[in-house]
Structure 1
Amino acid sequence: MRSVEEVVGSECDVQWGNGTSRRLVVRADQLGFGLTETYVQPGSESYLRYDNHQEVCYCVSGSGSVETEEGIFEIKPGTLYAPGVGEPHILRSQHGMTLMCVFSPALHGSETHLLTPGVHSSY
C-alpha cells in the first residue's frame, strides 16, 4: 500500500515542467506498469512525446485539451486519452487539471521533461 501523502516530498514527487507528477507506482515496484497522479498547472502548454513508454491518461478534475495530428480534443473529468508511443502531442490547460496516468513500462520515478515551446520533450 502507498498513499499520495507518502509520496509528497519524496524523490517520486516530481516537478515535471508544467506541474507536478506524484509517481505512486514505479519500476522498482516490479508490477510492469506505473501509475502517476499528475497535476497540470493553469495556463500551461506542454509539447510532449513518449518514445519509451505507452501512456494512458484519465482526467479526474479540471479541464484542458490535447492536440495531436488528428485534431484538438477537449479533456474534462471522465475523459481518457492515450497517445501512441512516439506520438507528438500538445497538452494544454487554462484552469488546471489532474490526471491519473498509467505508464508501460513503469517510470523509474524521477524523470522530468525539458520543456521548450515547439519542441516535443520525451523520456
Structure 2
Amino acid sequence: MIVRTLQDCINSDRHVRSDNWESTRMLLKNDNMGFSFHITRIFAGTETPIHYQNHLESVYCISGSGEVETCDDGKIHRIEPGTIYILDKHDKHLLRADEGEDIVFACVFNPALNGKEVHDENGVYPLEAETVE
C-alpha cells in the first residue's frame, strides 16, 4: 500500500512549478499503477496552451473557475467545481483561469508521468522525463 499526504508531496521533488501553474504529482510511473495522479493549480488570470501528444488526461475541477477551448474547432467549455473534462483524443487546447481565483484540479495521466515534466514550446509533455522518487 502507498500512503502519501498532499502536504508531504508539496514539500518534495513531486511539486513542480511553471509560470502559469503548479502541480503536485502524488502518484507517478515508478509507483507501478499504470497512471499518474496530480493536484494541479492553474494561476488566476492565465492562459496556458496545452497539447498532450503523448498522454491522455482526465481533469476534475475541485475549486475555482475558467474555461477550456479546443483549438481544432474553437469550442469553449465553462469549467467550475464539479466539472470534468477528458482529453481522450490528445486534444490541443487553451486552458484559461478566471481572474481573482486559482483553479484547483485533480488530474489523471495515462501513461503515467515520471515527475519532472513541464510543457515544451508546443504545450507537450515529453513521453519520458527525469524520475522522481
The question of a shared fold, defined as TM-score above 0.5 by the shorter chain, is answered with yes
- Percent identity over the alignment? 37
Displaced runs of 4+ in structure 1, greater than 4 A? none
Deviation at 1:27, TM superposition (A): 0.3
1:86 alignment partner in structure 2:
90
The answer to whether residue 84 in structure 2 is matched with residue 73 in structure 1 is no
The answer to whether residue 47 in structure 2 is matched with residue 45 in structure 1 is yes
Q: Secondary structure at the match of 2:62?
A: strand
1:103 alignment partner in structure 2:
109
CA distance 1:87–1:79, shift in 2 (3 Å): same
Structure 2: give runs of 5+ residues left out of the alignment: 126-133
1:18 alignment partner in structure 2:
20
Higher mean C-alpha displacement, 60-69 vs 76-85 = 76-85
CA distance 1:107–1:114, shift in 2 (3 Å): same
Tell me the TM-score normalised to structure 2 length.
0.84
Tell me the TM-score normalised to structure 1 length.
0.91
Structure 1: give runs of 5+ residues left out of the alignment: none
Q: Aligned pairs, how many?
A: 119
RMSD: 1.3
**1:87 alignment partner AA:** D
Give, in whole Å, the separation in 2 of the partners of 1:74 and 1:40: 15
Give, in whole Å, the separation in 2 of the partners of 1:79 and 1:30: 28
Q: Secondary structure at the match of 2:7?
A: helix
Structure with the greater alpha carbon radius of gyration: 2
